[in-house]
Amino acid sequence: MAPNKTLCLSLLLAAAAAATLAAANGGKLSPAYYSTTCPKALPIVQSGVVAAIQKETRIGASLLRLHFHDCFGCEASILLDETASIATEKTAVPNQSVRGYDVIDDIKAELEEACPGVVSCADILTLAARDSVVYLGGPSWEVDLGRKDSLTAGRAAVNTSIPPPTFNLTALAASFSAQGLSFRDLISLSGGHTIGVARCVSFRGHIYNDSDIDPSFAESLQQICPRSGSDGVLAPLDLKTPTHFDNCYYRNLLRKQGLLHSDQELFSGNSEADSIVRTYVNQPSVFFKDFVQGMIKMGNIKLLTGSQGEVRTDCRKVN
């Protein structure tokens, strides 16, 4: 048989097998979704994530953020490039500093070699976020799989749904609630800021205009982030352990050393929020448990399953 016909046949068989499994599951997610159609899927994603983090530690936080920004609708719409019919989400205001697209591309390429047309980009994003957290010292959890990829993107919706770093606690809670996430989910998922960095433009207002900040902490940041210019200068979201997933983010809040205005809002006099933050400081295992529960809930927001959407062969464009 000619090579191109063999490839086409393998693609058809893989797609048929995936469709059969989806039908059997009734479009429901399952950790075993790829167990027969692509048994190497999870190890391939994990090895790609580990290789990327070993090359650049920061990319672990970037992959977690990429998943978060996609998962106010977990269907890999954030990965689509601009076309005549698609307004890419990559240029939406909250996404202009999002990174990690190339890592997803590399992982997807390996998966297409191993099992063409089977593993969705949405599932890759979800697994990559989990694997990043685990590699950097955080908790592990079982990821339900079987998401499908969207056929379009929604830049306008992103601009209104992703909470900016200037939000106060009330606005943050409302933003999360609109996605079916609880107040406790807001506090626990914000703990993802225990890794990674933020740009000067994102924390400038907090260090110059807010009073709910440690003065020496603000002064140290003002040395690298002037009132104007240097918008892209980076500072760690967690002053103490920026490359290790732990509960130090919450310890920083007690000291009024949250980098973003929205960070410090979690510990600013609201009795419920303050109590949760203190719990996470004193009982890191509770933070890990709540973070996992929040990630699982977030990974199920507005997803596509079964016959909805598609499995892209290139995460940057529809088939």
Contact 126, 69 (CB under 8 A): no
Say if residue 67 carries a ligand binding annotation: no
Say if residue 77 carries a ligand binding annotation: yes
Please list the active-site residues: 69
Say if residue 194 carries a ligand binding annotation: yes
- Spacing of C-alpha 70 from chain mean position: 7
Say if residue 81 carries a ligand binding annotation: no
Say if residue 214 carries a ligand binding annotation: no
Sign of CA dihedral 257, 263, 264, 269: negative
Q: Per DSSP, which regions of the chain are E strands?
A: 197-199, 234-236
Say if residue 166 carries a ligand binding annotation: no
Give the residue among 301, 319, 314 at the shortest CA–CA distance from 29.
Answer: 301
* E strand or H helix that includes residue 251: helix 248-254
- DSSP letter string, 74-126: -SSGGGPPP-SS---GGGSGGGTT---HHHHHHHHHHHHHHSTTTS-HHHHHH
Say if residue 56 carries a ligand binding annotation: no
Say if residue 163 carries a ligand binding annotation: yes
Give the dihedral of Cα atoms 239, 242, 245, 248; nearest 10 deg: -10
Say if residue 57 carries a ligand binding annotation: no
Say if residue 75 carries a ligand binding annotation: no
Give the residue among 186, 194, 67 at the shortest CA–CA distance from 139.
Answer: 194
Residue 14 DSSP SS3 = helix
3-state helix, strand, coil split of the chain in percent (to 5) is 55, 5, 40
- Binding site for heme b, residues? 193
- Binding site for Ca(2+), residues? 70, 73, 77, 89, 194, 238, 241, 246
